[in-house]
Amino acid sequence: MKLLVRLLRNAGKLNFILCASILSGTVATFLQLGIILLGFISLLHSFQDFPWLVIILLAVIGGFCRFGEQYLGHLVAFKILSKFRNLTYRKVIQLAPAKLDHQHSSDLLKVIDQDIEQIEIFYAHTLSPVVIGLIVSAIQVVYFWTIQPLIGIIALISYVIVGAMLPLFNQQLLKKTAVQLNRVDAEHQRLAAETVTGKFELQQYQRDQEQLDKLDQAANDYWRVNRRKTMRQDQQGMLMQLVLVLGTVAVLLVSLLTQVSLVWVLLFPFTFSRVLALGSLPGSLSGGLVAAHHLFDLFDEHSAIDDSGVSKIGSIQQIHLNQVQFTYPERLNDTILQDINLSIKDGERIGIIGPSGEGKSTIVKLIMRWYESQKGTITINENQITDLKLFELRSQINYVPQNARIFEGSIRENLSLRDEQVTDEKMWQVLEWVHLNTTIKQLPDQLNTKISSGQELLSAGEAQRLELARALLHDGSLLILDEPTSNLDVLNEALILNAVKQHYDGTVVIVTHRRSSLAICDRVLQLNNGRLKDMTKSSLKTQTVL
């Protein structure tokens, strides 16, 4: 019930349009019954003085009312869909990256796509029909009561069984099935995403058939649960038809005993049109409520970062970490960083080296405020990092991750990120810095060439250099390179490091486990067992970093 109330509350002023849709649907239903009634009356009177004009008028008005019901209902549904999608994207931005760092992308895509679509079915095809069914049924019961109380009682019992008891009973049966269906669907999508993204590794290690077998099994699990749901809905439909037939027979017997006109017996089955529509309620409602539950769980998720700071900063001149301690929320018993002290001055090039998994990337994530430290302080330009506006802080930081992020779109869009102030001239200049200008000029559409993460148009080294070019294009006083060359050969590593050295004047922090990546650094620190210590470049030559 709370979910239903929340869904209606989210509709806001659109509920008035929804009411108009319900009114149109109610009028259309009674006009349709009126046409049928006039037809039966004329049939029993051998079509004498058949009211053709009245029927045509009722049909035209009923058609417009039916159109109004569908149009207004879908108008509300699609406007709410747009609202939910915008809220979802804003929430993802608010939660990212800390809250989404360990979440399956397929689960998030399911919320954005399928779950929101399922809620559209609730607004357009569930809510209005239910209300219309209740209104129409109540009016019909009263009308039949005025004709013959026994027929009114039969109608009431039939409508309650068909429109309430059977759907609610089926809803309880389908509740568990709906959860299972959602779970196996999510598992199937997750396996499908893994199969696509890991196709090369699966082929290399000859595990593609094994993965396909798992995918087939997940698909079979989905269809098995879905078939169970469909069979229960079919059984409910058969029971509804049985109640309709029994109700019609009962009305016929009453009419024979009380001399009620046969017209009402003929009309009685047609009064179930709206009530029978409630038969689909358990399937759509159960799926819609599960989808709404997932969506509202996402909306209710609290960000790992409290963005209540109000202070603004210009360029980053100084960074200071004092006795910082950090543990990931998922691993509370495993302290990653212990009593970290670090000072970075404007224009310095700092290298942080250490074995994989020690927490090197965690340090820069704390500086970017992906996470909050549990102990100690972080100051930027002598301001507590928690006092700074998050947008102001991150606008001064350019981050190059270990794996290049390639977006679906053109090379121009990947570089500019739709920033109109980034000119083509500036793009070509930066591409020349990273030695990509010749490669891109050889492409048929040059900057307009469409690329994506799934295409092999650019090599790994070229994609990493494109990522660096994007960072150099956008203003920022701190450049963070997080394992930028770990997957690259010596040539691409040299190109990236040289581009940073020659063309970036701000502060640079390089996180790496490769000693060769530290050639441009002014100062090197080693992270080991959660603690940082300064190192000289000569001492690095005698140590091995895994």
Distances (CA, A) of 487 to 402, 414, 463: 8, 21, 11
Neighbouring-strand partners of residue 340: 324
| 128-147 and 52-95 helices, crossing angle to 10° | 150
436 three-class SS: coil
Model pLDDT for residues 244-294, shown as the tens digit of each residue: 889 889 988 988 888 888 888 888 888 888 887 776 666 566 667 777 777
Q: Quick one: pLDDT at residue 113?
A: 67
Rounded Cα distance between 404 and 171, Å, is 47
Beta strands at 397-400 and 349-353: parallel, antiparallel or unpaired: unpaired
Which residue in this structure is represented by tokens 């990522």? 467
Q: What is the pLDDT of residue 336?
A: 78
Residue of 504, 303, 474, 309 lying closest to 393 (CA atoms): 309
* CATH number of the domain located at residue range(s) 349-369+391-540 in this protein: 3.40.50.300
Q: What distance in Å separates the CA atoms of residue 425 and residue 433, rounded to the nearest whole number?
A: 13
Which stretches of the chain drop beneath a pLDDT of 50? 542, 544-546
DSSP category for residue 334: S
pTM (2 decimals)? 0.67
- Where in the sequence of the chain do the CATH 3.40.50.300 domains occur? 349-369+391-540
> What are 226's two structure tokens?
């879905």
How far is Cα 322 from Cα 450, in angstroms, rounded to an integer? 46
62-98 b/e with 16+ CB inside 10 Å = b?
beebbebbbebbbbbbeebbeebeeebeebbeebeeb
CA distance 520 to 16: 65
Which contacts of 92-99 are long-range, i.e. CB under 8 A and separated by 24 or more positions? 94/303, 94/307, 95/301, 95/303, 95/304, 97/365, 97/370, 98/303, 98/304, 98/305, 98/370, 98/371, 99/301, 99/303, 99/304
**424-433 helix and 490-503 helix, angle to the nearest 10 degrees:** 120
366 SS3 class: helix
The three-class DSSP label of residue 503 is helix
* Residue range 2-300, CATH number: 1.20.1560.10
**Residue 141: which of 39, 272, 240 has the closest Cα?**
272
Contact 385, 393 (CB under 8 A): yes
Domain with CATH 1.20.1560.10 in the chain: 2-300
Shortest CA distance to 158 belongs to which of 43, 304, 271, 277? 271
